[in-house]
Structure 1
Amino acid sequence: MGILKKIFGKKAVVVEKTTPKASEYLIDIDPNSDSLSKAFKDFYQNHFINAYGLSRNEVDTYFFDSMSENDKEIAKRLIRQNLRLRQSHLFKAAGILKDKEALPILYDQLNTNTDLSWLLVIGQAIWRINGDDIYSKLLRQLKEHSSDTMREAHFDQIVDLKNKESIEMLFSYLSDKSRLVQSMAISKLNFLSAGKHEQKQRYDKEYFMSKKTDEKFKNDLLVNLRKII
């Protein structure tokens, strides 16, 4: 999986490189049909015409919730019949749409890939559909991975499980060798402790390190994690 790191001012942003070509896809519908909703057409535009915004997390993915059930079934089929192209945004869509029929393809991809970055994307999709524990094992592998870029690129996934281990992982990343990962952990912990995004962070690394054994504090973070993410 291609991974890019771009610098905006002092902030480093890690994005997955996704450059799909429309001609690669197997499309058996008329995406401009009047029978399809605006939500579906926005879904189609961002998954089969230009997925760059998705790779940078710049797209409002409202369409997953707004599509009709009929549109969702069409979307699932389009995603499913193109999964073997091995593009991260398609794997993610299969998971978000909870397409059980995609599971055989996803497991095949999981078993034939060895790169952890791909495995995390595929494992996340599988977990969203059926809760397979393989995803939590992959997240533990991420923590031990030698590549700073790998941990930076997939950092946001560590809170997916929304359990005690998610909170423990956040605290463990305070000591990561990557300063960017440390900064991301501090930001996420501030977000969870406040229960919302704030322009100025309340607490620094030392404060959270002092709370590593405070079970009540960590439980409060978990409550907020389950509410707001």
Structure 2
Amino acid sequence: MLALAHARITIMANIILLEDESVLRAELADFLGEQGHCVDTAGSIGEFEQKFCPERQLIAIVDLGLPDGEGLDLITRLREDGDRIGIIVATARSGGRNKAKGLIQGADHYLSKPFELDELAATITALARRLEDGAIRPRWLLDTLRCQLTPPGKAAIDLTSQSYIVFRTIVSGAGKPVSRRKIVEALGENYLHYDQRRLDTQMYQLRKLVLDACGMDLPVATARGRGYQITEAVDLRG
């Protein structure tokens, strides 16, 4: 069994998790999501290659024994392609020789199953911090006086008052899921009498506004059954 972590992370990261065992994959994805990370999952190398986006994902967690190939070969290809991504091996293959081989192939860290979730969380935080420190990465900016959202490297986007309130409330969660109730009440509405479809429409319009204006996705993920959470760092000004 994997032990639950008690410490919260301070750095959010976009992660792709490659694990063929479905129960463990779901457990790890839920844990990482609760820690504030945005997680894509894959059960095979083929699925990983379909979902992998080096411009968006910062860290890959890779199992080695996979149904359609060898995780070490995937790591080699990632390094040969020159993709700037942190790689954490999470595998049942223990022992110094296996660990040395994984690190030589290009992994940044090597965790042997079973591992503590605290250890995984700390490894991700350390690796994300090192990767972020090694590059200048523009951040989203929310102007709280002008109600404007500025995507990285793009022009400012004017938000409606309601869109601003919705987005600002989600940002206040600092990467943790923000409940629909909290968002509705921030809008000054009674949650018990509020038509939930209005919030769905509000989120759709906000996402479309940002996508149409700059070609980028709004950094907000749906936390199933819990609300919404921010997936990238957002600076506040005003």
Quickly name the TM-score band, shorter chain normalised: under 0.3
Select the structure with the greater relative contact order (CA < 8 A; seq sep ≥ 6).
2
Q: Give the TM-score of the pair, scaled to structure 2.
A: 0.26
User: When you count strand as a share of all residues, which structure comes out higher?
Assistant: 2
Q: Give the TM-score of the pair, scaled to structure 1.
A: 0.27
